Chains A and B, each alone.
Chain A
Amino acid sequence: MNRLIVTASKAVLVALIVVWSVFPVAYVVINSFKFQRDIFAFPPTIAFTPTFDNYLDLQKNYPEFFGFVWNSVIISVTATILSVFAAACAGYVYSRYRHNALSASAFYLIAIRLLPPLVVTIPLFPWINQLGLADTHLILVLLYATFWVPLNVLIMKEFIDKIPRELDESATVDGASEAQILRHVIAPLSIQGMVACAVFVFVFSWNEYLYAFIFTIQNAKTTPLILSELMDSVAGTNYGILFAAATVQLAPIVVVVMLLQRFLVSGLTAGAVKG
């Protein structure tokens, strides 16, 4: 009897946790397949006639939307590659060498990471305008890649630390140069760490709002920014389109996180608990 109560209350708590985590997202997705009248129904209709009208309306009324999704794809992929490359190269040096200057520069990376991102927009704004970089993909790529460099360097160091040094040493004895060791020994064995770092940058770049809001005007706008504008313009009048657009934005990234959750968790624990 006692066991039964414990099991039952655990089941209820687990159900609550799942509802709390998933319901707001599921609600957006489900509503994107509803007609307007069903969206507003209270209590919500469970058995409703699904429709793709909202997606067709999105395509018809906001044809430019999918161009902005493409912007997000380009910016997120490029930022991810740049950030992981920079972090892997630096992580290798921090893992294999000890030097006072190195420790100082590692500490510098960690300290910089604590700066509020909003603060750097103030001086960057005039510089970026003068360099003609405002509203370009490049500026968002640089900002997004940089934002994760400090933590990713730490994560890569943790992962490369786990590769036995004997492997580098025997490769050296066999006459391999350090660049070759990096390419043929370290890189393949630290793939897991690189994937973890990549997930962080990709999720961040795909979802980021603040920098996109400040540094883009028209050409380089990303999906979250368009969503926020849609939210202000169609909320109350046409929720269906808004939910369809939100679903297009969130579906791919939720799938990525679900599939790669193992890497994400290993990265979080390596970067936070040990770093």
Chain B
Amino acid sequence: MRRLNLFHLVLLTPAQTLVTLMLAAPAFYVFWLSLTTSSYGLNPQFVGLDNYINVLSDKHFWTASWNTFLIVNVVVYIELVLAFGMAVLVASLKKGRMLIFALILVPYAISEVVGVLAWRFLADPNIGLVTQAFAAFGITFNWTRNVADALTLICTISIWQHLPFTFVIIYAAVISVPRDLYEAARVDGANGWQQTWNITIPLIVPAATLAIVFRYIFAFRMFSEVWLVTKGGPVRLTEVLGTYLYRTGFTFADFGGAAATGWLMVLGALLLSVFYLRSMYRKSFSDE
């Protein structure tokens, strides 16, 4: 094995510098800001844990936390079930797989803004295609007034945008299940459902866990879908942690409170990813 030298350090510099300057340093500075009051982050005055106390005693923070918890769990598990069904279906097709695969990926290419635009129009309370179709069945759907409807729309948009990601991960795992396992099961008389339950599902658990962890982390930081659909309204009832942080910092100019919310979110993200980080840690140090 060749030895590390100055040249390698130079090669690592761009990546490490970008990450340290743009992400790591600000993330640590946020911790300091969370213990201070400041005017848009300037001239911070130390106030101890006041910001945390303010945030934790703000009822809007708890609404936001509850909505985040709800949305994250709904989207992650619905996506997982849909992605699995789609993966098994697409894997079983004889032809046209590539085309269907490409079409499934379309939402991945779409900006959140365009996704929201399309769905907001489809679900427009007056002229939306979906709303009017629902109305024909006697269902009223109005996300501009009704909190549950607004959250439903937000979840739908989020699932629509991120299903391709979950699908790709699950699909890769489904097609890598060895064919001869199914052959053997068929010889033993297992039907399609039994094969799915006893062979496919157990073998894709690692990939599914990974997809869940990633989607938890990404859904947890949700901002744009909510901001562009409801701006957190009506009366802040559809707020999530992302919009709560933004509003605290940039609308109410309370950078200390926003920083405290930020650190609470970092802790939440760490908690969600502890499992993933532990396995990555083992892996990075395993082949010493």
CB within 8 Å of B: which residues of A? 10, 13-14, 17-18, 20-22, 24-25, 27-28, 31, 40, 42, 44, 82, 85-87, 89-90, 92-93, 96-100, 102-112, 114-127, 129, 142-143, 145-146, 149-150, 153, 178-179, 182, 203, 206-210, 214, 223-225, 227-228, 231, 235, 239, 242, 246, 249-250, 253-254, 256-258, 261, 264-265, 268-269, 272-273, 275
Cα A64 to Cα B5 with chains together (Å): 50
In the complex, chain B residues 5-47 whose Cβ is within 8 Å of any chain A Cβ: 7-8, 11-12, 14-16, 18-19, 21-27, 29-30, 33, 38, 40-42
Q: Does B249 contact A (CB under 8 A)?
A: yes
Can you name the residue of chain B whose Cβ is closest to the Cβ of A11?
B93
For B18, give its contact among A111, A146, A246, A269 (CB under 8 Å): A146
CB distance from B59 to the nearest CB of A (A): 21
Known contacts A103-B285, A261-B101, A269-B172: does B110 contact A25 (CB below 8 Å)? Answer: yes
The answer to whether A119 touches B262 (Cβ under 8 A) is yes
Q: How far is the CA of A70 from the CA of B220 in the complex (A)?
A: 32
Residue positions of B touching A, CB distance < 8 A? 1-2, 4, 7-8, 11-12, 14-16, 18-19, 21-27, 29-30, 33, 38, 40-42, 86, 89-90, 92-93, 100-122, 127, 129, 132, 160, 163-165, 168-169, 172-173, 207, 210-211, 214, 217, 220-221, 223-224, 228, 242, 245-246, 249-250, 255, 258-259, 262-263, 265-266, 269-270, 273, 277, 280-281, 284-285, 287-288
- Contacts A115-B27, A120-B23 given; indicate if A250 touches B114 (C-beta within 8 A): yes
With both beta carbons as reference points, the residue of chain B lying nearest to A207 in the complex is identified as B111
Q: Among B26, B173, B259, find the residue whose CB has the most chain A CB atoms closer than 10 A.
A: B26
B118 adjacent to A265 (CB under 8 Å): no
Within the assembled complex, what's the spacing in Å between the Cα atoms of A107 and B280? 7
Residues of chain A within 8 A of B23, CB atoms compared: 112, 115, 120, 146
By DSSP majority rule, is chain B's interface helix, strand, loop, or mixed? helix
Given A27-B122, A120-B23, CB of A231 within 8 Å of CB of B169: no
Residue of B89, B220, B258, B288 near A10 (CB, 8 A) is B89
Residues of B within 8 A of A265 (CB): 101, 168, 172
Question: With A and B bound together, what is the CA distance between A254 and B42 in angstroms?
Answer: 42
Chain A residues with CB below 8 A from B8, complex form: 93, 97
Q: Which of B18, B107, B120 has the most A CB atoms < 10 Å from its CB?
A: B18
